[in-house]
A and B are shown apart, each in its own frame.
Chain A
């Protein structure tokens, strides 16, 4: 019952006119950003973060969460109308959304995607509400040793489950952590890694600079290179009969959608997994369990609903560890975490005790954002069709301007703008060479916490390294980390032995 009381208090915050207005703006902006091919939630949040100073911190985070939600809905739009995923999270939506559009059922596919997103969002927000406070309670017992072990665990999930090249993943994690140490030493206060004696490095490298560089400039450069010809927009007409028919069709898919939502939520919590694999898994499982599995890939409405519920649920799931433990579950939530730290709100269990208004205001605004997103999405479908016809160069030029000005605004130093351009080119080249970007951004955000907790533990334990393993919780986290870390090696051995017996290739 305490939970409902908190939630009611939260709604008092989130239903204030300012916050409702912010949710509407955020959701609409997010929908458009998500619908643009190449731009997803992480790009939207990275580009918009610097200009959120206009509203108070608690509203700023609501704005960003609304953009995050809107972008998850919007991703489906270009998957269906263009056949190009609006963001990587909507890849699975193209499998059946595109065939549906080609059969003239684009409107139905868009309705299905929006409704499924709503179901996924709602179920996962309810799960979020149930799990948030208990998890924060558990996390209250965490000391620096547990914090360190948890961050380590977050990084090893990238190695074990990320699916990218292990060596490249480790390089990106180390690079992010090394970049996070630029500036002043946390304990002694001495300057370190001041490259070329530039005074700009004394204040460290802001996660914002890296994020705008990689997800703003780098992303657009990447898209310029990969998109040679303008894609064809499929027209979508939408009538109330369609809407009614779509909702009736979606109603038959409760089993698929509930499963997608619950699985998406838990997959989303894992740092390395997130919305893309959750959507692909949901699609795969829906196909396996469906009675009409032969229809999949040819325009099955179920094939649109399953990934869309899962990717929305996963985006809520990834907010859970960020808010309760201070460990983000995805690059987007890493940026949200960085933003909160910038505004003086430190995510983690203490936030639930010290700033309950803020926490429950944010949680309840997820409900309003979800409802706003589905309504705005359905209402603006004709506008999306028009916006997707916008020439790509117009979009690019505006994103570049926003990156430059947005990068300058928070610190008002040209040093940061230069770094953004540098990181943009650097990120573009590394991404082309299949280096994963998410661990890099996460490492830069979590680096200070990791180093601080590591050194604090050692100072309080008089240099006893075994302290990390002796404490039960941190010991358990470290044990799981070791398993994740060894996972790719085990796979490698298996393949190696397999090759030994088969003696082919």
Chain B
């Protein structure tokens, strides 16, 4: 737990340093002419506070060392599930611009329900088919918001002709 706390605080310090570096592209100091801070001042100084606070967490953690329960940060059994789901999400989002939402999302549903969730075929197939159909009618037909189609775009042209 303590190690995880330190790693997270250190990553936050790195993140704030990165923010600060970016913020210096604009003036971060006090501008006497306009009477106020420059455009980079807000992000710079806020990140600076973040940097100091994260540093304080690390320093404080050394004082707490003897109170550490040694409890692991992640539950080993369930961490596997979380990692699998995150990978599936990333794959799905990466697939969307290339293969389109109507391939990526049903694939995700199928994997989640059948492989990950161990559900029966009936439930899996109903949800895998019904959800994209609902999305199509809700977003594309009703709201006129086109979801990414990728290479499946040509197959939708007859549908567009039918509904628009």
Interface CB pairs A-B, < 8 A, 7: A178-B16, A178-B46, A181-B23, A228-B78, A409-B145, A414-B93, A454-B37
Q: Which of B12, B78, B90, B145 contacts A225 (CB 8 A)?
A: B78
With the chains together, A53 CA to B143 CA distance in Å? 8
Determine the chain A residues whose CB is within 8 A of the CB of B82 once the complex forms: 221, 224-225, 428
Q: Select one of A192, A221, A451, A454 contacting B23, CB under 8 A.
A: A192
- Contact B43–A412 (Cβ < 8 Å): no
Q: Are B53 and A190 in contact (CB under 8 A)?
A: no
A462 in contact (CB, < 8 A): yes
Chain A nearest Cβ from B26, distance in angstroms: 5
Q: Smallest CB–CB gap between A182 and chain B, Å?
A: 8
Stretch at the interface among A6-14, A254-262, A345-353, A398-406: A398-406
In the assembled complex, the Cα of A433 lies from the Cα of B35 at a distance in Å of 41
How far, in angstroms, from A190 to B38 measured CA to CA in the complex?
Answer: 11
Interchain CB contact (< 8 A) of A393 among B50, B56, B79, B117: B117
CB of B32, distance to nearest CB on chain A (Å): 7
| Partner of A178 from B39, B47, B54, B142 at Cβ < 8 Å | B47
Is A383 interfacial (CB 8 A cutoff)? no
The residues of A with any CB-CB pair to B shorter than 8 Å are 51, 53-54, 167-168, 170-171, 174-175, 177-178, 181-182, 185, 187-188, 190, 192-195, 217, 221, 224-226, 228, 391, 393-394, 396-398, 400-401, 404-405, 408-409, 412, 414, 417-418, 421, 424-425, 428-430, 432-433, 435, 451, 454-455, 458-459, 461-464
Contacts A393-B119, A405-B139 hold; do A433 and B147 have CB atoms under 8 A apart? no
Q: Is the CB of B139 within 8 A of A178?
A: no
Q: Nearest A residue to B145 by beta-carbon distance?
A: A409
In contact, A400 and B39 (Cβ under 8 angstroms): no
The answer to whether B116 and A393 have CB atoms under 8 Å apart is yes
Which residues in B have their C-beta under 8 angstroms from that of A408?
A: 96, 101, 147-148
Whole-angstrom distance between the Cβ of A342 and the nearest chain B Cβ: 15
Q: How far is the CA of A462 from the CA of B32 in the complex (A)?
A: 9
Q: How far is the CB of A410 from chain B (nearest CB, A)?
A: 9
Is A430 touching B35 in the complex (CB atoms < 8 A)?
no
Q: How far is the CA of A462 from the CA of B34 in the complex (A)?
A: 7
The verdict on A412 contacting B73 (CB below 8 Å), with A171-B50, A405-B101 known, is no
Having A171-B50, A425-B86, one finds 8 other A-B pairs with CB under 8 Å, namely: A53-B145, A178-B19, A178-B43, A178-B50, A182-B43, A185-B40, A397-B117, A401-B135
- For B, the interface residue count at a CB cutoff of 8 angstroms equals 67
Cβ B143 vs Cβ A54 within 8 A: yes
Known A393-B112, A417-B93, A421-B89; judge A170-B53 contact (CB<8 A).
yes
Residue of B nearest to A228 (CB): B78
* Residue in chain A with minimal CB distance to B13: A171
Q: What total count of A-B pairs have CB within 8 Å? A: 177
Identity of the chain A residue whose Cβ is nearest the Cβ of B21 in the assembled complex: A193
Contact across chains for A187 and B39 when beta carbons are under 8 A apart: yes
**In the assembly, what is the distance between CA of A170 and CA of B52, in Å?**
10
Q: How far is the CB of B48 from chain A (nearest CB, A)?
A: 9
* Nearest neighbor of B132 in chain A, beta-carbon distance: A401
In the complex, the chain A residue whose C-beta lies closest to that of B32 is: A463
Q: Complex Cα distance A33/B131, Å?
A: 18
**Residues of B54-90 contacting chain A, CB below 8 A:** 54, 56-57, 60, 73-75, 77-79, 81-82, 85-86, 89-90
Q: Does B123 contact A (CB under 8 A)?
A: yes
Inter-chain contact B49/A170, CB cutoff 8 Å: yes
- The reply to whether A195 and B22 form a contact with Cβ atoms under 8 Å apart is yes
Interface centre among B4, B39, B40, B148 (most CB of A within 10 A): B39
A156 vs B100: C-alpha distance in the bound complex, in angstroms? 45
Residues of chain A with a CB closer than 8 A to B35's CB: 458-459, 461-464
Q: A189 to nearest B CB, angstroms?
A: 9
A-side contacts of B96, CB under 8 Å: 404, 408, 414, 417
Nearest chain A residue, comparing its CB with the CB of B20: A178
A397 in contact with B109 (CB, 8 Å)? yes
Q: For the complex, is B157 an interface residue (Cβ under 8 Å from A)? A: no
Q: A391 contacts which chain B residues (CB < 8 A)? A: 117, 119
A167 to B46: give the CA distance in the assembly, Å.
Answer: 14
Contact A393 B43 (CB under 8 A): no
Answer whether A405 and B112 are a contact pair too, CB < 8 Å, given A187-B39, A192-B25, A193-B43: no
- B41 to A: closest C-beta gap in Å: 9
Q: Which residues of B contact A425 (CB under 8 A)?
A: 86
